[in-house]
Amino acid sequence: MPSYRAPVEDVLFLLRDVLGFHSRDNLPGFADASPDVVEAVLTEGGKLADTVLAPLNLSGDQEGCRRNADGSVTTPKGYKAGYDAYAEAGWMGLSVPEEFGGQGLPHTLNTAIQEFVSGANLALGMYPGLTQGAIAALLVHGSQEQKQTYLPKMVEGAWTGTMNLTEPHCGTDLGLLKTKAVPNGDGSYSLTGTKIFISAGEHDLSENIVHLVIARIEGAPAGTKGISLFVVPKFLVNEDGSVGARNGVSCGSIEHKMGIHGNSTCVMNYDGAKGWLVGEENRGLAAMFVMMNEARLAVGVQGLGQSEVAYQNALAYAKDRLQGRALTGAKAPEKAADPIIVHPDVRRTLMGIRAFNEGARALVLWTALQSDIAHRSPDAKERQAADDHLGLMTPVVKGVLTDKGFANAVEAQQMFGGHGYIEEWGMSQFVRDARIAMIYEGANGVQAMDLIGRKLPKDGGRAMMAFLGEVQTFIKDHGEDEAMKPFTAPLQASLNDLQGATMWFMQNAMANLDNAGAGATDYMHLLGLVAIGYMWGRIVKAADANAAAGTGDKAVWEAKRTLGRFYMERMLPETALRLARIKAGAETTMALPVEAF
Amino acid sequence: MPSYRAPVEDVLFLLRDVLGFHSRDNLPGFADASPDVVEAVLTEGGKLADTVLAPLNLSGDQEGCRRNADGSVTTPKGYKAGYDAYAEAGWMGLSVPEEFGGQGLPHTLNTAIQEFVSGANLALGMYPGLTQGAIAALLVHGSQEQKQTYLPKMVEGAWTGTMNLTEPHCGTDLGLLKTKAVPNGDGSYSLTGTKIFISAGEHDLSENIVHLVIARIEGAPAGTKGISLFVVPKFLVNEDGSVGARNGVSCGSIEHKMGIHGNSTCVMNYDGAKGWLVGEENRGLAAMFVMMNEARLAVGVQGLGQSEVAYQNALAYAKDRLQGRALTGAKAPEKAADPIIVHPDVRRTLMGIRAFNEGARALVLWTALQSDIAHRSPDAKERQAADDHLGLMTPVVKGVLTDKGFANAVEAQQMFGGHGYIEEWGMSQFVRDARIAMIYEGANGVQAMDLIGRKLPKDGGRAMMAFLGEVQTFIKDHGEDEAMKPFTAPLQASLNDLQGATMWFMQNAMANLDNAGAGATDYMHLLGLVAIGYMWGRIVKAADANAAAGTGDKAVWEAKRTLGRFYMERMLPETALRLARIKAGAETTMALPVEAF
């Protein structure tokens, strides 16, 4: 059976030595997150993931969810206990303000825990994950009354949350949505319509489900300008805050999916369901985007989590499975064959996944830290810079970490040969589960368009200029250091590719917007490659310093250097290919008339 | 429901105008394959695939195979009729000599039909596919008596075949196998042992199953030098050729797999089963390789088939699904939104898959034609050259077409957004089914090692030199032609990368064999990229000639040119990345001690 061990040590190293987490004590919540507290929090979170959630992963996949005749949904055996363990330990509100029952700790820590939970059990982790997204939206856009009504219950995990966007005929293009909201005259609305692909839409884990739903108020403008956001509880809430009558919303069916079988993906029927406006009329999409941006980062983290668990199991297999002999002579002559980890093609796979995971983890935590700074810093300029970073990197974290997370799960599965294809080994599940992360919360092509169409040109390209400047400064600061040259030289070459691509878009996208669209996915990956490359530069710098200071285990710091070099030599050069594709432009991509397809 | 349409026209174009199939009338069987006959054969084969096999694909996946208490296996509803339709039309023996009931037509045609069958229904197609592999092995290594006993029945489809290699503790490293064969004294042997992952090992489609099994004769040398091949029928064959008593071989269980649910993947228990030696004692691996090489090409074709069917369904969806507006202004202003085919990121995906498929199809058919020449030409030198090509390209066809076939299925699935993740749409099945092709018949890492360790150095690198020379000649012949420069120039750059990589291995692999191993997969893909690029050069040349001559539909020939340019601009440049990785060598790949993982 597959297993999982949360990468607690790596997160501690990144926060402490690479990202300067503990130098942020001026921010609210950070002073409480002393090194001891952080270590305790991560260790506890890791333990939950390893010992409670991970053991439910394979069985949850095999059992799946079941919709009963009365419309209720039964989750797999053990899910309720797993969810309760999560909720009771207070993880839901880790970074939620204390006034709503949370702990007010940095979101960065919550992000680390999200990786652990996603790696251990993606399908189960989605129930609290969606709830955290709904909490975030209500925190920003909910009225004081709405916050008081819903947040404490959600933070304690007694109620869960969902987001209802997609309809049968529209996903990406929400302007087409048809769900209607009719004012009841008492401040509430009656919602009618069908939503599909609603994760955690119905289940047996919580006593109430708080649906956040976008709909069109009668008479609202067409398109995205007429969309409003509503909160629609499964059970209406009584004056005293207790659960009341059943609302007019129900689960019509659950989907038969490729993966995440333990999560109920529901068709939700709104049949005159009572809802309340969240935020302003016709400004629902903006409100929903708060939730979606939070969710997009979390989905990127899911990609990383699946990549990590797939890696760990492939590594265990590579050390255990005896097959063939090393090209350079037997390494385990006393055995019938060598463990397959001696084979360079197996090593290449393991090194590639691990180099990605550790660099991507740094990128995720760095971005989460910027999110904390953007929301908590007293310095407006610092807030703006952090918000710029957050906006720029959100599509990259979502798109690149899920694309690569899936690809890595496939590579890890490959290492098992035929056994990887057999469900009992669990590798197939990692692949099938990881697949969804490339799709939901905006398919990765949409992320790429968000990056190139919105985030890149915003404020005259300020966010990208700042990123390019920061990486350039790092190279300049360390470029004369012989020990850093194997890192700064390739990083400079790839930074040039990124600058070249950015310049090319500036010169060619205005003339033909298709030139931007045709290169968007390549650009997203190009930026991801450079960002992770920059992380590796900083990781190695910190690891070298630790080695020089005699801190910790020298072998660990040496491994960081080797992994960093592997990244620079074998992975980062992909930027040149991405640039070549971008510069090819849209011409051949768009040349065929539709009839010629 | 997904659909499939066999690419008959494209195959006809490739055979007739690109590969010079009809100029080979000097070879046995080719004279019978006149243009009319070829068109009739392919059209009929296509019809079977489109109308009989494809409609059983999704239901077969959902139903799967069932092992009954008595050890028998029930295949999905409709499979028996589908299999019978295939067998009765004579497809099993299309290229088998007439003396055994076949039609003696070129294997090239059989390869085209294999693509159609694999694209329509991979799981069902594996039953005849394995049978064709077993026929090939018996044709080459079977005694005259064995051929007479088994081949006519197999060719008519009354009996099917399997290959039994893998055991629980060994797949790639067959030298470890434990299945024992004890001579009975009457020329037969008693086989005892357990084989796993036996595709089509037990089912209800045929009246007998002819297992080809590798085992170790008592007292045989250890390792691969002590392996012999046996034929072990499920039912013993009476003197008169009819089916007799049940043999001591049975299906112990069937696997629960990620995909190809319609094919029974069996654990086969040999319990003193009666078998007969095929070929020489202790030379079983060589005999099995005949079957495996045939099977490897067929598996590469499966990758192409899945890529093609996934493309076709994604294309239909892209034309149908309305979502968003074109960046350059509405293309269907009368509708609520434009079809998503207007979006450059969608186009990029469609163009990429199609450019791969058409180039890969040319490579497959070219290689199959070389197989015919290698087996049928009266000219020894021509036979040798063709055999060189076949050996060199077999791992490339297997490894590259299945890696890319899977990746393309994933890309096609992505185009469906959330719908792609729902099983009813069928895209998930293409991904899950395509996944196996990267694994079986030698995982792709093994293909890469076969290429670099065996095929490349063989006969002083003669096969690779011939390939490099052929591509160089093409470039030289057409390099001055302005119309061909968009093809010859990129091809030259990538050919240089391939030559550079080959040279690098010559200089660095002897000193450290790990340098070969660490670059093997990249080299396999590098060669595949160039080989398909070369095919595109030839395709465009032929398409241009057709356009100039006014033959056929001009729009088709123009599309070939556009697709070829797309390949050159966006796909072929990957060779530089592959070369960079190869030149990075094994150092960082192998540097970490095992304990540091």
d(CA B304, CA A185): 60
Q: State whether residue A344 sits within 8 Å of chain B by CB.
A: yes
The answer to whether the CB of A251 falls within 8 A of the CB of A270 is no
* Residue-level pLDDT at B450: 96
Do B326 and B419 lie in a common domain? yes
Q: Which domain holds residue A510?
A: 458-589
**End-of-domain residue from the set A400, A418, A452:** A452
Q: Hey, are the CB atoms on A258 and B566 less than 8 Å from each other?
A: no
A444: chain B residues, CB-CB within 8 Å? 414
Query: Is the confidence at residue A64, as pLDDT, over 80?
Result: yes
Complete DSSP assignment for B155-213: HHTSEEEEEE--BTTBSS-GGG---EEEE-SSSEEEEEEEEEEEETSS-SSSSEEEEEE
Tokens describing residue A454: 């919105």
Whether B126 is covered by a domain: the verdict is no
Tokens 């030839």: give the residue.
B538
From B594's Cα to the closest Cα of chain A, the distance in A is 8
**pLDDT mean over A469-487:** 97
Whether B245 is covered by a domain: the verdict is no
Q: Hey, are the CB atoms on A328 and B566 less than 8 Å from each other?
A: no
Q: Hey, are the CB atoms on A513 and B327 less than 8 Å from each other?
A: yes
Residue A518 confidence class, pLDDT cut points 50, 70, 90: very high
Do A426 and A523 lie in a common domain? no
How many angstroms separate the Cα of B26 from the Cα of each of A261, B87, B388?
Answer: 58, 29, 20
Among B468, B459, B451, B473, CA closest to B398: B451
Q: Could you tell me what percent of chain A has a pLDDT over 90?
A: 96
Provide ipTM, 2 decimals: 0.97
Q: Tens of pLDDT along A229-242? A: 999 999 999 999 99
A424: chain B residues, CB-CB within 8 Å? 256
Query: Is the confidence at residue B289, as pLDDT, over 90?
Result: no
Chain B interface, best mutation among A173, A319, A341, A345, by max B CB count within 10 A: A345
The answer to whether the CB of A276 falls within 8 A of the CB of A230 is yes
End-to-end Cα, chain B, rounded Å: 46
3-state secondary structure string across B90-121? CCCCCCCCHHHCCCCCCHHHHHHHHHHHHHHC
Whether B40 is covered by a domain: the verdict is no
Chain B interface, best mutation among A163, A308, A515, A577, by max B CB count within 10 A: A577
Residue B26: CB atoms within 10 Å? 12
From B191's Cα to the closest Cα of chain A, the distance in A is 23
End-to-end Cα, chain A, rounded Å: 46
Nearest CA in chain A to B595: A555
* Residue-level pLDDT at A298: 96
What is the average pLDDT score of chain B?
A: 97
Q: State whether residue A596 sits within 8 Å of chain B by CB.
A: yes
Whether A349 is covered by a domain: the verdict is yes
Do A330 and A444 lie in a common domain? yes
How many angstroms separate the Cα of A367 from the Cα of each of A113, A178, B383?
Answer: 15, 35, 61
Tokens describing residue A74: 């039964």
Query: Is the confidence at residue A291, as pLDDT, over 80?
Result: no
Tokens describing residue A241: 């805050």
**End-of-domain residue from the set A409, A433, A452:** A452
The single-letter DSSP state of residue A170 is: B
Among B336, B351, B424, the residue with its CB nearest the CB of A589 is B351
Residue B252 confidence class, pLDDT cut points 50, 70, 90: very high
Whether B72 is covered by a domain: the verdict is no
Q: Tens of pLDDT along A413-422? A: 999 999 999 9
Among B257, B345, B588, the residue with its CB nearest the CB of A569 is B588
Among B337, B556, B558, the residue with its CB nearest the CB of A176 is B337
From A40's Cα to the closest Cα of chain B, the distance in A is 25
Q: Tens of pLDDT along B122-138? A: 999 999 999 999 999 99
Q: How many A/B residue pairs have CB atoms within 8 Å? A: 251
**pLDDT mean over A274-284:** 96
**pLDDT mean over B523-529:** 98
Whether B248 is covered by a domain: the verdict is no
A556: chain B residues, CB-CB within 8 Å? 596
Residue A236, helix vs strand vs coil: strand
**End-of-domain residue from the set B402, B432, B452:** B452
Residue B28: CA count within 13 A, CB half-sphere: 13
Whether B531 is covered by a domain: the verdict is yes
Do B294 and B387 lie in a common domain? yes
CATH classification at residue B383 = 1.20.140.10
Residue A13, helix vs strand vs coil: helix
Do B446 and B522 lie in a common domain? no
Nearest CA in chain A to B428: A258
Stretch 352-411 of chain A: residues touching chain B, C-beta under 8 Å: 354, 406, 410
Do A429 and A572 lie in a common domain? no
Q: State whether residue A231 sits within 8 Å of chain B by CB.
A: no
Among A565, A569, A577, the residue with its CB nearest the CB of B574 is A577
**pLDDT mean over B503-530:** 96
Q: Hey, are the CB atoms on A589 and B428 less than 8 Å from each other?
A: no
Do B429 and B540 lie in a common domain? no
* B261 φ, ψ (degrees, to nearest 5): -65, -25
Whether A151 is covered by a domain: the verdict is no
From A454's Cα to the closest Cα of chain B, the distance in A is 13
User: Count of residues for chain A?
Assistant: 597
From A535's Cα to the closest Cα of chain B, the distance in A is 18
d(CA A197, CA A255): 8
Q: Hey, are the CB atoms on A259 and B421 less than 8 Å from each other?
A: yes
* Residue-level pLDDT at A60: 98
Among B336, B345, B417, the residue with its CB nearest the CB of A176 is B336
Among B397, B375, B391, CA closest to B104: B375
From B94's Cα to the closest Cα of chain A, the distance in A is 30
Please enumerate in sequence order all residues whose Cβ is within 8 A of that of A23, keeping only pairs 6 or more positions apart, or say none: none
B454: chain A residues, CB-CB within 8 Å? none
Pairing verdict, β A188-199 and A265-278: antiparallel
Residue A356: CA count within 13 A, CB half-sphere: 32
Chain A interface, best mutation among B167, B540, B597, by max A CB count within 10 A: B597
Query: Is the confidence at residue B290, as pLDDT, over 80?
Result: no
Which secondary structure element, helix H or strand E, spans residue A350, and what is its range? helix A344-376
Domain count, chain B: 2
Residue A307 confidence class, pLDDT cut points 50, 70, 90: very high
Q: Mind telling me the catalytic residues of B?
A: 441
For residue A411, indicate whether it is catalytic: no
Among A170, A559, A591, the residue with its CB nearest the CB of B592 is A559
Q: State whether residue B422 sits within 8 Å of chain A by CB.
A: yes
Q: Hey, are the CB atoms on A344 and B518 less than 8 Å from each other?
A: yes
3-state secondary structure string across A424-475? HHCHHHHHHHHHHHCCCCCCHHHHHHHHHHHHCCHHHHHHHHHHHHHHHHHH
B451: chain A residues, CB-CB within 8 Å? none
Do B474 and B431 lie in a common domain? no
Chain B interface, best mutation among A174, A510, A562, A589, by max B CB count within 10 A: A589
Do A476 and A385 lie in a common domain? no
Do B341 and B467 lie in a common domain? no
Residue B245 confidence class, pLDDT cut points 50, 70, 90: very high
Phi-psi group of A198: left, alpha or beta (phi > 0 → left; psi -120 to 50 → alpha; rest → beta): beta
Do A465 and A512 lie in a common domain? yes
Among B257, B440, B590, the residue with its CB nearest the CB of A347 is B590
Q: Hey, are the CB atoms on B577 and A576 less than 8 Å from each other?
A: yes
Do A409 and A490 lie in a common domain? no
Residue B560 confidence class, pLDDT cut points 50, 70, 90: very high
* B242 φ, ψ (degrees, to nearest 5): -85, 170
Q: Tens of pLDDT along B162-202? A: 999 999 988 888 889 999 999 999 999 999 999 999 999 99
Stretch 426-485 of chain A: residues touching chain B, C-beta under 8 Å: 428, 431-432, 435-436, 438-440, 443-445, 448-449
Choice among A441, A480, A569, A595 that is catalytic: A441
Residue A405: CB atoms within 10 Å? 32
Q: State whether residue A198 sits within 8 Å of chain B by CB.
A: no
